[in-house]
Chains A and B, each alone.
Chain A
Amino acid sequence: MSKVSSTTLRDSLSVSITVGAYGVAFGAAAVANGFTVLQSCLLSLLTFSGASQFAVIGVVGAGGSAISGIATASLLGIRNALYGVIMAPRLQVSGITRVVAAQITIDESTAVALGQEPRGTDAMRKGFWYTGIGVFVFWNLFTLAGALGAQAMGDVRAFGLDSAVPAAFLGLVWPRLTGKFERILAVSCAIFAIAMTPILPAGLPIIATAFIAIAIGLKR
Chain B
Amino acid sequence: MNTLWIATIGTCVIAFALKYSGHSVPERWLSHPKIQRINALIPIALLSALVAVQSFSEKSKLMIDQRLVGLSVAIIALFLKAPFPVVVLSAAVSSAGVYRWF
Contacts and interface: CB of A to CB of B under 8 A. Distances in A.
Interface of A: 18-19, 21-22, 25, 34-36, 39, 42-43, 46-49, 51-56, 58-60, 62-63, 65-67, 69-70, 72-85, 87-89, 91, 98-99, 101-103, 105, 157-174, 176-177, 182, 185-187, 189-194, 197-198, 201-202, 205-207, 209-210, 212-214, 216-218, 220
Interface residues of B, number: 79
Contacts of A165: 54
Contacts of A201: 60
B48 A187 contact: yes
B75 to A, nearest CB: 7
Nearest to A159: B96
A82 B31 CA distance: 8
A173 B54 CA distance: 14
Interchain residue pairs A-B with the least CB separation, the first 5:
A84-B22, A163-B70, A160-B92, A167-B91, A163-B95
B52 A193 contact: yes
B60 A166 contact: no
Contacts of A99: 20
Given A164-B88, A190-B51, A73 B45 contact: no
Contacts of A218: 34, 38
* Chain B binding surface SS class: helix
B42 A214 contact: yes
A86 B22 CA distance: 8
Given A58-B53, A169-B47, A210-B42, 18 more contacts: A25-B85, A42-B12, A46-B12, A51-B47, A66-B6, A70-B14, A84-B20, A102-B20, A158-B96, A171-B84, A185-B45, A189-B45, A194-B56, A209-B45, A209-B46, A210-B45, A210-B46, A213-B42
A63 to B, nearest CB: 5
Contacts of A55: 46, 50
Contact of B21 (A84, A166, A193): A84
A144 to B, nearest CB: 15
25 contacts: A39-B8, A42-B12, A46-B16, A47-B12, A62-B54, A73-B14, A75-B46, A77-B18, A82-B35, A82-B39, A84-B22, A84-B23, A85-B22, A85-B27, A88-B22, A102-B22, A103-B19, A162-B67, A166-B54, A167-B92, A168-B88, A171-B84, A189-B48, A194-B52, A209-B49
A194 B97 CA distance: 25
Contacts of B50: 54-55, 58-59, 72, 166, 169, 193, 206
B62 A48 contact: no
A46 B73 CA distance: 32
B26 to A, nearest CB: 9
B84 to A, nearest CB: 5
